[in-house]
Amino acid sequence: MQRIYRQIKSKVRHTKGFTLVEMLVVAPLVVLVIATLVGFMITLVGNVFISNARVQMQYDAQAALDQIEQDAFYSTTFLSSFTPTSPQGKDNGTQAFSSTNNDIIFNAPATDKNPFDPTRQIVYYANDPSPCSGQVQVNNPLYTKTIYFLNTINGVTSLYRREIVPPNDQSSTIGPNTTCTAPWQRNSCVSINYNSNPICVSKDSQLVSYVSALTVAYYNKSDPSTILTDPTQADSVKISITVTRTIGGDTISTTMSLAASRADTTQIIPT
């Protein structure tokens, strides 16, 4: 029994833990390994955020260009400037809206249905000069304006889309704004009452944010190498959108471009 006790005591005496020197050597290595793993995880998460942001930027820019291409196709004229009836301000405000040289403005006839609907018809003014029951094709169409413009809010520049539909009605009493049919297009301007006075508050569609550059060039398909200074003389437009963001300390940027042409509206829209 005494011999067994001595064996156990001997084993206990020879069993020891880490010395102070060993701890001083191992601890920095452990800290280094942990720091490396944390740094790797931070880099990995940052790369995921950057990748997601880049994909979202490209998606938003492409969606905006697709919308511009559609509006350009159905337009009859490209405009250099347009000042709608005040007030229709940028910033969803009530001050007068005034276009700049970098704005994209499409002039297109209103339709009674979605322009993609094969049964759509152009909306004409009544008695101008023909009555609605007559040859309305000789009347003046109701033209809408679609404006793409940049606006900076809280330090972020975004591309917005605005639809402007002139006043119209379909009453039996023929007036200067009476049309034979109601337009499918809807005005971005919403009328509200402020101090008992009706005002127009714009509700623009925000298409893409963090826009750092927007370039627009007009030309004709017959001579794409010649850039026109007067958009009304052009049948095609080249548009480039650059989106730039800072994510996790890294600046990422993407540029997407579009070449679009307007169609012969009198042929694509049956009357």
pLDDT in tens, 252-265: 899 999 999 988 65
Task: Give the number of domains in the chain.
Answer: 1
Residue 36 domain-assigned (yes or no): no
Domain assignment of residue 220, yes or no = yes
Contact 218, 185 (CB under 8 A): no
CA 184 centroid distance within chain: 22
**151 with 161: CB under 8 angstroms?**
no
Angstrom CA distances, 41 to 11, 45, 52, 85, 259, stand at 44, 6, 17, 56, 42
User: Could you tell me if residue 31 is inside a domain?
Assistant: no
**Residue 250: which pLDDT band, with cuts at 50, 70 and 90?**
confident
Cα dist. 165→39, 72, 146 in Å? 56, 17, 9
Q: Look at residue 50 and tell me whether its pLDDT is greater than 80.
A: no
- Does residue 9 form part of some domain? no
Residue 22 lies in a domain: no
**Contacts of 59 by beta carbon, 8 Å cutoff, 6+ apart:** none
Indicate whether 17 belongs to any domain: no
Tokens representing 70 are 């559609």
Q: Is the pLDDT of residue 66 over 50?
A: yes
Q: Is the pLDDT of residue 197 over 90?
A: no
Question: Where residue 271 falls among pLDDT bands split at 50, 70, 90?
Answer: very low
Q: What digits encode the pLDDT tens for the residues 120-159?
A: 999 999 998 999 988 898 999 999 999 999 988 889 999 9
Report the pLDDT averaged over residues 214-238: 93
**Is residue 209 a part of any domain in this protein?**
yes
Kindly indicate the confidence band of residue 80, based on its pLDDT and cuts at 50, 70 and 90. Answer: confident
Confidence (pLDDT) at 76 = 92
* Domain presence at residue 13: no
**Domain interval for residue 211:** 48-268
Our measurement of the distance from residue 161's CA atom to the centroid of its chain's CA atoms, rounded to an integer in Å, reads: 8
More confident residue, 1 or 62: 62
